[in-house]
Structure 1
Amino acid sequence: MKWVLNLGLSLVLLGGAAFLAVWLIRTRPKPGHSVQPETAVLVRTMRARKGREVITVRGMGTVIPARKVVLQPEVGGRVVEQAQELVPGGRLAAGETVLRIDPRDYRLALAQKQAQLEKARLDLAVEEGRRRVALKEWESLKKGMKGASPDKALVLREPYIKNARAALDAASSGVEKARLDLERTNVKAPFNSLVLSENTEVGQVVTPQTQLAVLAGTDTFWVQTVLPVESLRWIEFPPSGKDTGPSAKVIQLLGEGKRILREGKVLRLLGDLEAQGRMARVLVAVEDPLLLHGSGEGESLPLLLGSYVRVEIRGKEVDGVFALPRTALHDGDKVWVMGEDDRLEIRPVSVLFRERKRVLIDGGLGEGERIVVSPIPIPAPGLKLKTQVEPTPALPPGGEGK
């Protein structure tokens, strides 16, 4: 009977514990529903301001000579003298003697032609004397002559006179030709030039077909610039034959933040596309590229032929556009706007022109709207935003800001 009593006591204890557990669960206090406050994302903004902007058209180009010539002699002979600057990289002034061809044969030829000219003058003088004698005889014979008279022109030796005058003209032309040939033994530079290559030495026999040197003009270089075809509408090309094209900056990067900067002018649009990328080609002229007459901005280094440079052309002015940083544009045509309720709006806009660091917007924005210019990790329409309040900078003496 004792084990029955123990079993009953155990069942009573288990039942009491179960009842107590159920009661505690049912009578526990219910947790309250707490509302988490909405966190605003800190951003930087700028005001959209409509204004007048100048479009800058950018491209890349190669420096080429504006004037280039293969120098050849006009007469043949042995080279007896050569300019010291007639070496690759040498500089020649316009009219400077590049080399001299042995002039002795040409001096002799000139003397012969001058002697022939003197003989022609004497022959003409003799014929004119004979004509005067014939004229007197004609007048004497004419008085007693009956019937048909002989041809007066023949009697007065007019054909002989014409022949002598023609011989005189030919001799005079021969002298001029011999004098020109003698002058041409001094081969001169046609313009201020840089020697790109030379193919002659003292003692060499040259002919008019010999290529003495290749020269490039140093007063002006051209930059053959390649641009997207669609950007041409923003450039005002000068009329044909004029040099009043828009200004351009030619920049050669040297590394470590250094560069060569030259000012240029747009000359003309070439009539064909660049073969590789099918880009438009524009010529930009740069005066004094080698700094022979002054100094340029930057490292004061010459702009060398063959250099690959960046070109920035001043384009047309456009009115009524918003200029924004390039980083303010997202997905190609969208801008983040901080609305009046400080919430994010993802606004599609009309992009008029894209530059390397900015874009010009001509539709989709209002004057004075706040444009978000800082990154947002997860941008979503309606996202709560806030801007950082920046302290007002202290004014310098005089009350004017810097």
Structure 2
Amino acid sequence: MDGGNTVWQKNFTFLFCSKLVKITADCFAVNTILWFLIYEGKGAIGTALLLAVSFLPQALLGPIITPLMKTNSLKFWMFFADLTRATLMLVIPICYFNGFSPLWFIILLMLVHSATGASYNPASVSLIPKIVKADLIQKANAIMQSSEHVVRLAAVTLCGVVIVAIGAVQATLITFPLYIISASLILFIKYTIKENVKQRAEESKKKGTYLKKLRRGFTLVRSHHILFPLAIYCVFSNLASAPWEALSAVYIAEELNGDPIIHSLIKVTTAGGAFLLGYVLAKVKVNRYGLLFVTAGIVEGAAFFITGMNSLLPLLFLAALALGATISAINVPEHTIIQMSVDDEDQPQVYSVISMISYVMIPLGALIGGYAATIFGAGKVIAFGGLIEILAGIGILLFTKLGKARRTDLIKEKEESLKV
């Protein structure tokens, strides 16, 4: 790790640049394929399948892949994930120009595209503590989170312009050099693992075979006094936010008499809130990450509730700003808690287990919310989701240690996790 007392050392800079280039490539990949399916007449079935395979595989495969990860090979998992995505985004247009682009083929390749996230995302989160000082981990996470939202928004906007200008299939070719650049930057990251070789060998022996390591990830989350309630609240939070993700456009159109421009402005406002809170967290040092995490969830729930119960456009924009802020206020402490309270070797798997447990609630919540909206209306369903998140947050604060945990408690939990 580089010397100095700033997060902007060369290793973090390489990771930062690689991640933002990769996010740009991801936005281009998903959006160009989405519009390609629409232009090719694949309709709602094609786009629905695309959204499903773009999300679920990486959530479900994460706990299966991460037991294979070693601390000294994290960047290579990220490198090969980028390389795989680059290859896929080159295969699709080549096959199309040669007259071969059936729906099943495109969906299969996008399923593999999503599956690579099962290795990239846990590895990238686990890499940060290896390349920045312990007291700068929160700042590094905050910088990443705030920057990602701005870049993602800019990338989606630019992608739309490019698709209109040159076509959806032609635009997919742009993703190939972007993924290659991201992969190349990762290779410049250099870090050393200083540890007692004998102690590490004993720990590896204790963790045992692949199946034991697979079970270990779930066992660690279940026995962890801080991560277990965090995972439980993630379930309620994602279940509550799913109706907003699925129904926001319908709500704006049908109950607020808005149009796509209003919907786009809402997304811009949300990204702005995420950037601003991320910027604040990069400047302010937090001691009780769990309290920040749960409080942000309660505020998010309140924003959903207010939005769903009051069909006033100004309130919607205020709620969107609050929602954006809570995205950073939830993700930054979540990543920091995992990085500070779990052993290096276990971090990728623990991250994947929590992601799997919580992320599968999004399609479930969207499905339930969609059916409920036809009966009660989109606004009431969004508000009910917010109420669930508020009540769950209050319960977590009252009955678990998550809200009370300090930085020293995270370090103690890390020591206890080694005994599991």
Q: Could you state the TM-score of these two structures normalised by the residue count of structure 2?
A: 0.20
Decide which structure has the larger Cα Rg and report it: 1
Which structure dedicates a bigger proportion of its chain to helix?
Answer: 2
Which structure dedicates a bigger proportion of its chain to strand?
Answer: 1
Q: Could you state the TM-score of these two structures normalised by the residue count of structure 1?
A: 0.21
